[in-house]
Chain A
Amino acid sequence: MKNKTAITGAELITSLGLDAESTWKGILSGDRGIQPYEGSEYKVAARVKGLDAESLGLHPRDSRIMDTHSLMLMKSTREAYSAAGITASRIAPEDIAYFAAMGMVDYRTEDLLQAVLKSLDNDGKLNYNSFYKEGFQNIHPLWPLSMLNNISFCQVAIDLKIKGDNTTFSAHSDSGMHALIEAACSVHEGHSKIALAGGVSEKVSAMNIARSMTFGIMNTETDLCRPFASDRIGTLPGEGSGMVVLETLDDAEKRGIKPLALMTGYGLAFGRPSEGNCASAEAVASASLQALKSAGISPDEIDLLIAHGDGTLEGDKNEILAINKVFKSSLNDLHVYSSKSSLGHLMSGASAVDMVLGIYIMKNDIIPAVYGSYSMDSTAGFRIVQDAPLPKKIRKIMINSQSYEGQCASIILEKYK
């Protein structure tokens, strides 16, 4: 990137807390958001707790079509907006951009259940003629809006009166990177003066778990997600949202706001192996190399890599190969972190959450431990912090993200001096 992007606001909602501070403290204390849920459809998940429409002051008319993902997006965007002092700076609504990554929206079966029951023949078979005739009228007339992931996004825009440049990307972790990158480009290219950017996970549900199981990426046996460990067997689902505020460094300085960190580079790539649902090692490496080039730095300047590291067999294998290749010369000194052992896999929410964690890591000069990855994959040439958090000066971070379909992206964060 020719110009540096200032990050002037950041907020998180995760299974460890409804804000960035409590999430950070939880991660450092070795808390795990991933919990077993006996008797629930999700055996193990990192779920967000204590978030409801009432506490957000939302009108029932609006919250009728909002599910967990909408509430997380609403809260994290509001908090980031307010942290960046946008109101005080009187930025016009049409100069505020908003880019978010949203996952697939799965219907709540209870929303459709009555319609299905009222569309059955006497012998219990589903009869579409009855469904189209009357059965469908048992569905709330606004239900369709709850199925469009951009509607949650527009509700936030209405709440904060954001009218500028915007897009909703979908559906896996890479989409969070797309939102962050397009937002940064938006402020640099003059499409907006300031941009809110981030992502929100899907709500953990039976549908969403079935989808991950079909992809073959889920750990269905234990309650540990073990990124880069030799005994990793899959990932675990998580809920959460991350939101940042981006503007050009010039604009932030003019507003008198001290940036939390700088975003200085990015890379985008695609590639999938002939077998398996993950990105290819070549594509992961290509995104990383492009990001280094765009930031104008060399691999040995990276103090920490926040990897995608989702604890899947093939995904981690390819990311290890890519890291080994990109960081060849400095591999023994490279620390790698993955937030998924604590927070689960947030899919469309993952990249923005990792960016906010990166900001906290640089601010505190501490690398958190990766819970559960005690026995490293023998092919990995880098280090991960295994027990207690490790104090280390962190000036430059790379963040990686991949989808199960082959999309990859990397972003470079730098400390603001």
Chain B
Amino acid sequence: MVTSLGLEVEENWSNALAGISGIQKLSYPETEHSRIQAAGTVKSDDWKKLCQELDPASNKADERRTKFALWAAQKAYSDAALNSGTKERAGVILAAGLGINRLEDIHHWLTDDQKFDYQKFINEYKMVHPESIIKNNSHRPAALIADRFGLMGYNATITTACASATQAFGTAYRAIRRGDADIMLAGGADSMINPVGLIFFVLLGAASQSDGDPASACRPFDRKRSGLVMGEGAGIAVLEEEEHAKKRGAKIYAEVCGYATTMDAYKVTAPDPKGRGAELSMKKALDNAAMDPENIDYINAHGTSTKLNDSAETMAIKNVFGPHAQKLAINSSKSLTGHLIAASGGPEFIFTALSVNRDEIHPTINLTNPDPKCDLDYVANTKRQKQVRAAISNSFGFGGQNASIVIKKYIGHAGA
């Protein structure tokens, strides 16, 4: 994985446990007047290293989010110790976001009377920046990964805004369960730290416009939270059919055991304030896992640091878990990495799996003024050591699509 916290899973994990924020002052060119001044940008030294160490074929891919995807895939593939060579029963399901849109594409083809000249644009299509029209294609990262590693099976791309990556893991999990594949690389990559991205959430009124200390701009569940802070990067994990993994002696971090997705059918401009879609998503995921709420010890929340999400998500958790909600450890990885938008469920899935594997939970940082409406245990500011038998990772997308995935300790199965 790659986020503003680092280039490797272990680097991300140790920084997350230490509560180190990846969010810094925005360093994108010509942004001194940008309303957004804090972002979880992948550090420039890390970006240089990524470009140097990416295999040459992948490095030609250009486009920032595609390189994040290829990097994360390369790392996940080698961590899983998968051998090279083509694999018929292996595939890729990735989350993708908007891609880059460039104002130059309009500006360059203005007529003298300041209209956009469509005909000239099409005639001169070769002059359009390739990242605007071809390299931003949503399913390109999934295709490049499959091509690079010879994964000749199911290959799909999901675009459900912030729910995308968790839906990608869930869809991959289902594909393996039903026998369509033995191995699936799943997750997401995204970057919206670009001109259209920088005004996107400002227009929607969802972005934090805090100009104070960048590291404290993202404050999920805090009374003084002021909106989401963008991050960027990728998180990709290898899901594998149990017997297949055991046969080749693979290291198993944890077991995915349930998944569900629902829709609010409420408003496209705001989540259901009562969190009913989120509640249903967690309930159905528990059903799918054949688990009781009491089996869950930890929730990696969607926790965007927006007024609406954090209170609705809290309400949903209380409705699903009843009295057990007080015993849950809940955190928001976004407090550390910022919001990776379509990819956000990627690193969060990995953090959740590591917590299940290692019985350690990273803190939600900047939680110093608890919101009375958010009155659960959010692992404020300091990491927690706690037995995590099973956990849920939540992702809720703009428009009202909700996804929850359940991960439990891998102990093997009797007779298996």
Contacts and interface: CB of A to CB of B under 8 A. Distances in A.
A143 B399 contact: no
B159 interface: yes
B106 A165 contact: no
Interface stretch (B74-82, B144-152, B365-373, B407-415): B144-152
Interface in A108-163: 109-110, 112-113, 115-117, 119-120, 126-133, 136, 139-145, 147-151, 153-155, 157-158, 160-163
A405 interface: yes
A169 B198 contact: no
B199 A132 contact: yes
A188 to B, nearest CB: 8
B107 A286 contact: no
A203 B110 CA distance: 22
B261 A116 contact: no
Interface string A37-59: 00011000000000000000000
Contacts of B30: 127-129, 132
Given A270-B154, A405-B143, 10 more contacts: A116-B110, A139-B203, A160-B265, A165-B260, A167-B160, A171-B138, A171-B157, A206-B122, A270-B91, A270-B151
B337 interface: no
B305 interface: no
B139 A268 contact: no
A158 B265 contact: yes
A354 interface: no
Contacts of A390: none
Interface in A269-297: 269-272, 283, 286
Interface centre among A120, A170, A172, A185 (most CB of B within 10 A): A170
29 contacts: A94-B262, A104-B138, A110-B116, A116-B110, A126-B104, A128-B30, A128-B31, A131-B103, A141-B204, A141-B205, A150-B401, A151-B398, A154-B264, A158-B265, A160-B265, A164-B262, A165-B260, A165-B261, A167-B171, A168-B159, A175-B156, A207-B105, A214-B128, A268-B180, A270-B91, A270-B154, A272-B147, A403-B143, A406-B146
Contact of A405 (B31, B110, B139): B139
Contacts of B137: 104, 171, 211, 405
Contacts of A148: 98, 159, 161, 398-399
Contacts of A93: 265
Interface of A: 40-41, 65, 93-94, 98, 102, 104, 107, 109-110, 112-113, 115-117, 119-120, 126-133, 136, 139-145, 147-151, 153-155, 157-158, 160-172, 174-175, 178, 182, 185, 189, 191, 206-207, 209-211, 213-215, 268-272, 283, 286, 403, 405-407
A168 B170 CA distance: 13
B158 A168 contact: yes
Contacts of B122: 41, 206, 209-210, 213
B205 A154 contact: no
A269 B152 contact: yes
A337 B288 CA distance: 41
Closest 7 interchain pairs by CB? Answer: A154-B399, A41-B118, A405-B143, A133-B33, A128-B30, A210-B125, A270-B155
Interface string B34-47: 11000000000000
A281 B288 CA distance: 38
B203 A407 contact: no
Contact of A41 (B33, B119, B288): B119
Interface in B252-268: 260-268
* Chain B interface, >50% SS class: mixed
Nearest to A102: B159
A158 B271 CA distance: 12
B274 to A, nearest CB: 13
Interface string B167-190: 100010010011010000000000
A154 B268 contact: yes
A214 B159 contact: no
Contacts of A113: 106, 114-116
A174 B397 CA distance: 23
Nearest to A155: B268
A206 B121 contact: yes
Interface string B275-301: 001001000100010000000000000
A69 to B, nearest CB: 13
A137 to B, nearest CB: 8
Which of A142, A145, A148, A207 is packed against the most chain B CB atoms within 10 Å? Answer: A148
A407 B35 CA distance: 40
A371 B126 CA distance: 31
B195 to A, nearest CB: 6
B159 A170 contact: yes
B269 interface: yes
B321 interface: no
Contacts of A167: 158, 160, 167, 171, 261
B199 A136 contact: yes
B51 interface: no
Given A150-B161, A166-B263, A136 B202 contact: yes
A286 B99 CA distance: 31
B323 interface: no
Contacts of A154: 263-265, 268, 399-401
B134 interface: yes
A152 B210 CA distance: 31
B98 A147 contact: yes
A214 B35 contact: no
Given A141-B204, A144-B203, A175-B156, A170 B269 contact: no
Contacts of B171: 167, 182
A116 B107 CA distance: 7
A279 B237 CA distance: 26
Contact of B156 (A104, A109, A139, A407): A407
Contact of B266 (A127, A142, A158, A405): A158
Contacts of B32: 129
B143 A150 contact: no
A154 to B, nearest CB: 3
Contacts of B277: 163
A170 B203 contact: no
B388 interface: no
B14 to A, nearest CB: 34
Nearest to B266: A158
B265 to A, nearest CB: 5
A142 B118 CA distance: 24
Contact of A175 (B128, B139, B401): B139
A115 B151 CA distance: 43
B62 interface: no
Contacts of A128: 29-31, 195
Contact of B138 (A94, A170, A215, A283): A170
B403 to A, nearest CB: 9
Contact of A151 (B121, B142, B198, B399): B399
Contacts of A65: 268
B140 interface: yes
A109 to B, nearest CB: 4
Contacts of B130: 214
Contacts of A209: 122, 125
